[in-house]
């Protein structure tokens, strides 16, 4: 079924010269399993490009607008470009409504899977905008839709991620540095799901899930903070 992508163009305020680039950014790998003769590839190469473009734009903005230490700027950048943040922006732009996915994938109500797909699609869309319109248009798109959230991140101190927070609390309160172990892996290579445990010596404090080891570790740390009642 063909999608009316002109509405998405209005939403992102970018009119593509090459409409296939826009469409390509929205093709999930699963769609090709059911549509073997589809003219375009999945969006993972565009996602790879968009990830780099996104990081450069955010880094450039932070460098030019803030005189803070490298470590602080790195934390702010990480908070802006993490999966949850990108997925939230993708939701706001209603990107999910325009994705080409298999019927099974489209009907999956798993929130983590949806966030993962949305974040990847946002990166792919960024890559497509860069190829079609150039750096300046991509910069405007990222500034308007993503960097706008920076003030809130700084005000709420959400850039101090759960993993760092749990490590600092554990070292301060019990004198132990947490360690993480992969408890299980599942799913295909392109959509691997990890379950990771966070330990204080031999004590398994909590388990976290994610579509990368970093994401699962952060989830485990956030749950561990709640278990230990170290949430301030």
Q: Is 123 annotated as catalytic?
A: yes
**Residue of 123, 132, 161, 219 marked active site:** 123
**3-state SS string for the chain:** CCCCCHHHHHHHCCCCCCHHHHHHCCECHHHHHHCCCCCCCCCHHHHHHHHHHHHHHHHHHHHHHCCCCHHHHHHHHHHHHCHHHHHHHHHHCCHHHHCECCHHHHCCCCHHHHHHHHHHHHHHHHHHHHHHHCHHHHHHHHHHHCHHHHHHHHHHCCCCCHHHHHHHHHHHHCCCCCEEEEEEEECCHHHCEEEEEEEECCEEEEEEEECCHHHHHHHHHHHHHHHHCCCC
Single out the catalytic residue among 51, 105, 132, 215.
51
Residue 34 bears catalytic tag: no
CA atoms within 13 A on the CB side of 6: 1
Residues annotated as part of the active site = 51, 123
């Amino acid at each position: 079924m063909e999608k009316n992508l002109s509405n998405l163009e209005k939403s992102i305020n970018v009119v593509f010269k090459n409409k296939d680039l826009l469409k390509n950014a929205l093709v999930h790998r699963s769609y090709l399993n059911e549509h073997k003769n589809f003219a375009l590839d999945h969006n993972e190469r565009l996602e790879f490009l968009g990830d780099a473009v996104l990081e450069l734009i955010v880094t450039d903005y932070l460098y030019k607008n803030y005189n803070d230490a490298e470590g602080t700027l790195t934390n702010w950048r990480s908070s802006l470009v993490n999966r949850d943040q990108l997925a939230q922006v993708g939701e706001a732009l209603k990107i999910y409504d325009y994705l080409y996915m298999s019927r099974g994938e489209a009907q999956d109500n798993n929130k983590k899977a949806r966030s993962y797909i949305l974040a990847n699609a946002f990166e792919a869309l960024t890559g497509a905008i860069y190829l079609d319109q150039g750096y300046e248009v991509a910069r405007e798109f990222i500034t308007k839709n993503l960097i706008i959230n920076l003030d809130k991140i700084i005000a709420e101190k959400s850039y101090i991620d759960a993993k760092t927070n749990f490590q600092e609390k554990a070292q301060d309160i019990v004198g132990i540095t947490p360690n993480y172990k992969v408890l299980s892996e599942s799913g295909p290579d392109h959509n691997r799901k990890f379950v990771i445990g966070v330990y204080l010596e031999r004590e398994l404090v909590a388990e976290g899930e994610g579509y990368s080891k970093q994401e699962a570790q952060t989830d485990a740390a956030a749950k561990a903070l709640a278990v230990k009642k170290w949430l301030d």
